[in-house]
Amino acid sequence: MTCSTVLTGQDLAVAGGAPAPSVPVPQLEWSPCVRGSAFDCATAKVPLDYNNPSGRTIELAVAKRKATDPGRRIGTLFFNPGGPGGPGTVQMPQNYERFPREVRERFDIISWDPRGIGNSTAVNCFASPEEAADWSASKAAGFPVGEKERVAFIAAYKDLARRCEQRDPELLRHVSTTDTARDLDQLRRAVGESHLTYQGISYGTILGATYANLFPDKVRAMVLDSNIDPEAWTNHASDDNPRLTTFLRMGSDRTAAATLDQFLTLCGSTTTAHCAFSAGSPEATRDKFDQLMQKLRKHPVGAWTYAGTVADVVNSLYIVHPGWTDLAGRLQALWQGRVAEPSPLPPPPAVPNPNPYLGEEQGAAVLCGDSPNPRDPNVYHGLEEAAAARAGDAGRFWTWAVEGCSTWPAVAADRYLGPWNKPTAHPVLVVGTTYDPSTPYTNAQAMAKQLANARLLTHNGYGHTALINPSSCINTYTGRYFIDGTLPPSGTTCRPDTPPFSAPKPIGGATGGGGMAGTVS
């Protein structure tokens, strides 16, 4: 089966609604994730296919941190860390300190590895880690440069699709955003909440919007931070062969280019003591970056190729502190011809399996099955050149990020295609960052407009998600909203606590993870 297969199953654009009453509520048996851990873990059993609830079941790994002030506890806040492909049981504990203090005091915070991901019943298309590593090494890092690399890159993803179809084709058809929204409602029921309190970042915003329109009467409070435009995600509810990829429809290329330009401008506006890559002025620093990219095209520094470096640049723009400062140091090392040290990974949290397998096929299974992308691998080079003309190096990166979808072997059986404006029981709070390297501020504006009742809160700052790039102002508004439903005044704008290239106190970990080479995270 290819991506051109006609969608089968329930027409969710018309149907929607709650899961069939015959679906039993999962039983969650909580115990400390590991001895002495502040986090509790449980496993939920849910149907693979909600249209056949008595058929195959799958497991969801779930983690919880109890409210720190139980006497004033309000309820449970569910959190999705993005991706698609982000394992919540790992990333919620890593980023727990990022949640506003009053939210941690008054809510149990629960996250889970969505179906297909991480410690849950996972998509895994390889027989061993060595096989997965060999596959990864068969293609260029970042994106292909030149005809030879393009042929190998396309062949590698065709091979991945073949492997995935052989391993568990049934699972591939049931890892959609709609399936996960139904899982979320089952988890809500499992903890005894009558209404959902939810925070979703990045991909978690399209999950939240899907839930809000499948279960509009169940929404208590919902924060959607760094948004995906639902119309871009669904190709305007059309399965016709799309002209553009998901990320080009969203404008990820343009927003990455604008954020990179801010990085170089701010770097060039300070000294090398604050930004190692500074050339003394914004213009000189931008020229220096362009020269470095040209040099790397001809002469990689160790394993640092041009395309691999561009991928590192885009991903390193996600977290301002310490990401931007560390990135400047790596670029300066490459400029001097030295092999740059990659950023250290955040410390593993105290959970049973803090390093689950997170192969590219996990995020791909969600994104490719859910969101239409061009099905002819040969069109991606032309799309790349058009994106590069308007967005430079970042355009090349974001174009190839979903080339694997061109030959992906499954279309999701259940997809929600709209409408997006079903009136919810309570209004939704949408947060958008003005310089975000993957989800443009325009997508937050689109989300706020398309939902029936939503308020846009603007983070006039940098990086991917306001949660991971702290703003006390944003936290004050989101905390108040979660606790008593108070929305910020229309047009409210916040700033980050610490501007780029200064030194804040480091806390928490990273977001995203999993997925394809350039997934939203």
Q: What is the structure's pLDDT at 22?
A: 82
Strands 57-65 vs 107-112: parallel, antiparallel or unpaired: antiparallel
Number of helical (H) and strand (E) elements in the chain, helices listed first: 17, 10
pLDDT over 70, % of the chain: 92
181, 211 contact by CB (below 8 A): yes
pLDDT for 443: 98
| Angle subtended at Cα 90 by Cα 86 and Cα 92, rounded to the nearest 5 degrees | 85
- pLDDT tens-place string over residues 359-375: 999 999 999 999 999 99
461: its two tokens: 């700052």
Mean pLDDT computed over 421-442: 98
What is the rounded distance in angstroms from the CA atom of residue 104 to the CA atom of residue 89?
16
Q: What's the mean pLDDT in 171-179?
A: 98
Instruction: Kindly state the average pLDDT of the residues 310-315.
Output: 98
The DSSP bridge partners found for residue 431 are 225, 457
Per-residue pLDDT tens over the stretch 186-225:
999 999 999 999 999 999 999 999 999 999 999 999 999 9
Confidence of residue 520 (pLDDT cuts 50, 70, 90): low
> What's residue 521's pLDDT?
59
Asked whether 292 and 331 are in contact (CB, 8 A), the reply is yes
How far apart are the C-alpha atoms of 408 and 138, rounded to whole Å?
A: 18
pLDDT category at 19 given cuts 50, 70, 90 is very low
C-alpha dist (Å) from residue 106 to 67, 83, 483: 5, 27, 8
* Residue 21: pLDDT over 60: no
Q: State pTM to two decimals.
A: 0.93
What per-residue confidence (pLDDT) applies to 164?
A: 98
**Residue 494: band (very low, low, confident or very high) from pLDDT cuts 50, 70, 90:** very high
Please provide the DSSP assignment of 498-520 as one string: S-TTS-----S-----SSSTT--
Token pair recorded at residue 23 = 């679906």
List, in order, residues 6 or more apart from 236 with CB less than 8 Å away.
none
**What does 205-236 look like in DSSP terms, one character per residue?**
HHHHHHHHHHSGGGEEEEEEESPPPHHHHTTT
36-78 pLDDT per residue, tens = 999 999 999 999 999 999 999 999 999 999 999 999 999 999 9
Question: pLDDT tens across 91-135, in order?
Answer: 999 999 999 999 999 999 999 999 999 999 999 999 999 999 999
Q: Which amino acid is at 48?
A: L
Residue 176, helix vs strand vs coil: coil
Average pLDDT over residues 148-169: 98
Residue 170 pLDDT exceeds 50: yes
Q: What is the pLDDT of residue 343?
A: 83
Q: What dihedral do alpha carbons 258, 259, 264, 265 form, nearest 10°? A: 70
Report pLDDT for 11.
31
Which residues lie closer than 8 Å to 15 by C-beta, 6 or more apart?
Answer: none
Nearest C-alpha neighbor of 112 from the set 84, 80, 85, 82 = 80
- Mean pLDDT (the chain) is 93
pLDDT at residue 15, rounded to an integer: 38
Q: What is the pLDDT of residues 236-272, one digit of tens each?
A: 999 898 999 999 999 999 999 999 999 999 999 999 9
Pull the structure tokens for residue 492: 């409210």
Instruction: Collapse the DSSP code of 434 into the 3-class scheme (helix H, G, I; strand E, B; otherwise coil) and give the result.
Output: strand
The confidence score (pLDDT) of residue 10 equals 30
Task: Let me know the angle formed at the C-alpha of 189 by 187 and 192, rounded to the nearest 5 degrees.
Answer: 115
